């Protein structure tokens, strides 16, 4: 009887020991009694306005849906989302509404990333029938894309020998940026005393430029989500004497050109004048041919009035009648002295017909 009662107790002890060893083995190997979770990538980089996929995988022999919980580490952990499978439990925080999607395998997708989304995310996946819960962490960095940088410098890119110059690699957007400088396509370092880089390498100072510094310079800006290179600029170095010769020669050329233009340019002076009608001897002859007076048959006898010959008076009358009205002022000066204008000439009338023997048919009357 004692042997029969002691045997079952030994069997129970052995079975208990075996079960304990099996549980320890399952725990150490991630066996079927718990959730086995893997994380492909523990560091995710995202861009502002883009998306980030925090990917995880788990395995379990339980057919129940997993309980998934994501938290963001801060001074106090913030619950991002909690779900049973893909069904979200409770109400999301305002900053995560309409920006979160949970997959069946526990993966979390964030839309429309913000700079504040960066940090370390803890994930827990548990199943009711399982003894152990799967846990893991993923780091998310969110940065702003870099805009194309440009090189800014005070003054001109034409430098005199031994002059100092400061080049600034500027850009508008970008976070956590690093800078690199290139001269002629080769990186610039602080190995020379004349090339000085600032602490963040954004500024490049060249002290006492030499002729060998006449080259093409560019800068590159990098951050975790990309890099951009600026357009190159060229620094031109002149000797002091050469620069003065160029400036003086240019100044002299401009001065000579200005003097020549001023000397050759004269303003046009055009005044409108009425056309002057001139009568030549041929025009006077035509009028003489059509005149009713036949000057070839005139009697040589002339009459005078106030000391003026009658024939001259007729001729003067003829000229007065044919002068241009526009020439009144100039013609009046050519008529004679004021005494002649005050004493107008007298004219003698002649008979219309003259006898062949030369004697007039009627005696002419002298005008009074």
Whether residue 272 lies inside any domain: the answer is: no
pLDDT confidence tier of residue 190, bands split at 50, 70 and 90: confident
pLDDT (tens digit, 9 = 90+) per residue, 28-62? 544 445 788 899 999 999 999 999 999 999 988 88
Q: How confident is the model at residue 247 (pLDDT cuts 50, 70, 90)?
A: low
Q: Are residue 284 and residue 321 in the same domain, yes or no? A: yes
The pair of structure tokens assigned to 187 is 């990186």
Residue 63 — pLDDT band, cuts 50, 70, 90? confident
| Class of residue 52 by CB neighbours under 10 A (exposed 0-12, middle 13-18, buried 19+) | buried
User: Of 143, 173, 188, which marks where a domain is finished?
Assistant: 143
pLDDT (0 to 100) of residue 92: 92
Q: What pLDDT shows up at residue 259?
A: 81
Q: Is residue 218 part of a domain?
A: yes
Domains identified in the chain, total number? 3
Write down the pLDDT at residue 261.
Answer: 80
Instruction: Report the CATH number that the domain containing residue 174 is assigned in CATH.
Output: 2.60.40.10
pLDDT at 147 over 70: yes
Same domain, 39 and 136: yes
pTM for this entry: 0.54
pLDDT at 321 over 90: no
Predicted pLDDT at 262 = 81
The mean-pLDDT minimum among 169-173, 215-219, 314-318 falls in: 314-318
35 and 134 in a single domain? The answer is yes
Domain that holds residue 51: 31-143
205 CB-near residues (< 8 Å, 6+ apart): 164, 165, 166, 167, 195, 196, 197, 198
Mean predicted confidence (pLDDT) in 314-322? 46
Structure-model confidence comparison of residues 232 and 360, the more confident one: 232
**Is residue 162 domain-shared with residue 138, that is, in the same domain?**
no
Judge whether 318 lies within some domain. yes
pLDDT at 138 over 70: yes
């Amino acid at each position: 009887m004692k042997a029969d009662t002691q045997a079952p107790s030994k069997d129970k002890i052995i079975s208990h020991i075996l079960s304990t060893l099996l549980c320890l083995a399952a725990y150490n190997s991630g066996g079927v009694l718990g959730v086995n979770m893997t994380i492909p990538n523990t560091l995710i980089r995202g861009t502002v306005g883009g998306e980030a996929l925090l990917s995880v995988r788990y395995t379990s022999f339980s057919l129940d849906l997993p309980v998934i919980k994501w938290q963001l580490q801060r001074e106090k952990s913030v619950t991002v989302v909690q779900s049973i499978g893909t069904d979200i439990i409770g109400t999301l925080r305002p900053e995560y509404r309409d920006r979160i999607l949970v997959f069946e395998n526990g993966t979390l997708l964030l839309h429309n990333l913000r700079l504040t989304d960066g940090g370390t995310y803890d994930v827990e996946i548990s199943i009711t029938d399982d003894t152990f819960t799967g846990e893991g962490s993923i780091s998310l960095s969110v940065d702003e894309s870099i805009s194309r940088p440009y090189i800014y410098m005070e003054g001109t890119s034409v430098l005199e020998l031994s002059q100092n110059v400061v080049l600034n690699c500027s850009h508008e957007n970008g976070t956590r940026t690093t800078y690199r400088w290139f001269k002629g396509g080769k990186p610039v370092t602080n190995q020379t005393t004349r090339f000085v880089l600032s602490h963040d390498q954004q500024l490049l100072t060249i002290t006492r430029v030499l002729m060998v510094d006449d080259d093409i310079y560019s800068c590159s800006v990098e951050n975790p989500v990309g890099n951009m290179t600026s357009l190159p600029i060229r620094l031109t170095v002149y000797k002091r004497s050469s620069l003065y010769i160029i400036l003086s020669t240019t100044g002299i050329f401009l001065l000579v050109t200005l003097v020549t233009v001023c000397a050759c340019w004269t303003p046009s002076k055009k005044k409108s004048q009425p056309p002057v009608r001139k009568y030549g001897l041929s025009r006077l002859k035509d009028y003489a041919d059509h005149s009713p007076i036949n000057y070839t048959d005139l009697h040589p006898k002339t009459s005078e009035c106030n000391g003026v010959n009658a024939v001259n008076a007729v001729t003067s009358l003829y000229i007065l009648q044919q002068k241009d009205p526009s020439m009144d002022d100039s013609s009046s000066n050519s008529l004679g002295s004021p005494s002649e204008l005050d004493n107008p000439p007298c004219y003698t009338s002649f008979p219309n017909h003259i006898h062949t023997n030369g004697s007039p048919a009627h005696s002419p009357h002298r005008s009074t």
